[in-house]
Amino acid sequence: MTVVQVTYTIMGERRTVEGAEGQTLLQIALDHSLPMEHACGGNGFCTTCLCRVEAGMEHLTPRSDREEGMGIDTDPQRLCCQTKLSGTGPVEVTAEEF
Ligand code: FES
């Protein structure tokens, strides 16, 4: 299992945690009790998990049809519930109003 360092900035709080290849950015945040919004339960229907990828986009899965369907179609914006780790990282994201 590849362990990947993911740094989150949520509501101004910055924290680096470890995730595993194949996990979504939302799963990793919730596993570490980070307060990431996920109103639709991680199903790609609400955009409350919207983030800006500050670094490491190349270590994430390609944009999904669901993201594009929700209008999240331009880098660096991604939906954390639809975006999985696919490489060795590190990855840095900001998830807050921006
Ligand atoms: S949690 Fe609703 S779109 Fe990601």
Going by CA atoms, what residue is nearest to atom 3 of ligand 1?
44
Q: How far is CA 36 from CA 9, 19, 26, 53, 65, in A?
A: 10, 15, 7, 15, 22
Helix (H, G, I), strand (E, B) or coil at 50: strand
**Distance (Å) from CA 67 to ligand 1 centroid:** 9
Strands 77-79 and 50-55 come out as antiparallel
Q: What would the pLDDT profile of 61-91 be if each residue is shown by its tens digit?
A: 999 999 999 999 999 999 999 999 998 989 9
Question: Would the pTM of this model clear 0.85, i.e. be above it?
Answer: yes
- Please identify, by atom number, the ligand 1 atom nearest to the C-alpha of residue 41: 1
- Please identify, by atom number, the ligand 1 atom nearest to the C-alpha of residue 50: 4
Q: What would the pLDDT profile of 10-27 be if each residue is shown by its tens digit?
A: 988 999 999 999 999 999
Q: How far apart are CA 29 and CA 31, in angstroms?
A: 6
**Distance (Å) from CA 56 to ligand 1 centroid:** 21
